[in-house]
């Protein structure tokens, strides 16, 4: 059955009706205000080097073990993903159990928020595009409220594929047409990943000329999230973001995805 606009608005209403966000009772009101306004907060040097280095070392050891056949991963081109990072990296607990990050997630999304995906994301080799054709364009993850936390385990400059986020793009009625397309063509059981068919491989993507129009019309600006190892990025994944190509070195990140 084709999903209509009516189905979408009803599903959207039901989703947001059950979210009881607690902005006003959080001790991190300044972070929440920035998230509400811009959709993203960058916490430079959130973890000190002496705490980050053991995590990075253990993660590189895990990557090497996986490459030797000791565990599962997804690899395509220069991108390597390892799921269930918290279960495979003992030292990662300081990130995944951090009270500030989890408190902000609960206040921003819902007290019933859950961390549903914890990954290692590793990029190496410059200019690889086999998997990243989708990632290098501005896109949103879903029409639902989803919150993410990234921890840089290596220094990330402009040449190390930093996250780029279009500030303010997580809200506004201009999004509804694209959100409906996502709702209509999303299919988690698809062998292509999540699109319903090959005509929708770039579901949720905006092309460069569209981004230029949005910037001009709404005053949006890109935040290029460079940072030293230990930097934490908190963001609303409804906002348009992209992962540019790696031009030099490598990039190692732990990620934590929250849903309600």
Structural domain boundaries of the chain? 29-259
Cβ-proximal residues to 8 (8 Å cutoff; 6+ apart), any chain: 143, 179, 180, 183, 184
pLDDT of residue 213: 98
pLDDT of residue 17: 87
**Residue pair 214/52 in contact by the 8 Å Cβ criterion:** no
Nearest to 221 by CA among 34, 38, 35, 36: 38
Nearest to 81 by CA among 37, 117, 53: 117
Nearest to 89 by CA among 116, 66, 115: 66
Q: Identify the helix (H) or strand (E) that includes residue 13.
A: helix 5-17
| pTM summary value | 0.93
Handedness of CA 71, 72, 77, 81 (dihedral sign): negative
pLDDT of residue 75: 85
Instruction: Give per-10-residue mean pLDDT for the chain (260 aa).
Output: 87 87 77 96 97 98 94 86 97 98 94 95 76 78 95 98 97 96 82 66 91 98 98 98 93 96
Tokens in use for 253? 């990140």
Tell me which CATH homologous superfamily contains domain 29-259: q2cbj1_9rhob like domain (2.60.120.620)
Interatomic CA distance for residues 232 and 52, integer angstroms: 11
29-38 vs 99-108: helix crossing angle, rounded to 10: 50
**Residue pair 244/100 in contact by the 8 Å Cβ criterion:** no
Q: Is 110 helix (H, G, I), strand (E, B) or coil?
A: coil
Interatomic CA distance for residues 103 and 232, integer angstroms: 14
């Amino acid at each position: 059955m084709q999903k209509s606009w009516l189905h979408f608005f009803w599903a959207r209403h039901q989703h947001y009706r059950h979210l009881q966000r607690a902005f006003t009772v959080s001790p991190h009101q300044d972070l929440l205000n920035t998230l509400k306004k811009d959709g993203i907060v960058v916490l430079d040097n959130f973890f000190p080097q002496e705490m980050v280095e053991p995590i990075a070392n253990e993660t590189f050891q895990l990557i090497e073990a996986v490459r030797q056949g000791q565990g599962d991963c997804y690899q395509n081109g220069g991108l390597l993903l390892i799921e269930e990072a918290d279960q495979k990296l003992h030292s990662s607990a300081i990130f995944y159990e951090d009270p500030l990050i989890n408190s902000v997630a609960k206040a921003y999304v819902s007290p019933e928020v859950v961390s549903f995906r914890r990954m290692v994301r590793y990029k190496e080799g410059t200019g690889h595009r086999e998997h990243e054709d989708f990632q290098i364009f501005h896109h949103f993850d879903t029409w639902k409220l989803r919150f993410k936390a990234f921890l840089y385990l290596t220094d990330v400059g402009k040449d190390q594929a930093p996250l780029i986020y279009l500030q303010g793009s997580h809200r506004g009625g201009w999004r509804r047409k694209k959100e409906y397309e996502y709702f209509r063509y999303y299919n988690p059981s698809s062998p292509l990943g999540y699109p319903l068919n090959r005509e929708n491989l770039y579901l949720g993507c905006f092309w460069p000329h569209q981004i230029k129009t949005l910037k001009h019309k709404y005053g949006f600006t890109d935040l290029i999230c460079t940072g030293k190892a230990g930097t934490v990025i908190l963001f609303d994944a409804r906002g348009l973001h992209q992962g540019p190509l790696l031009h030099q070195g490598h990039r190692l990140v732990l990620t934590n995805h929250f849903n309600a």
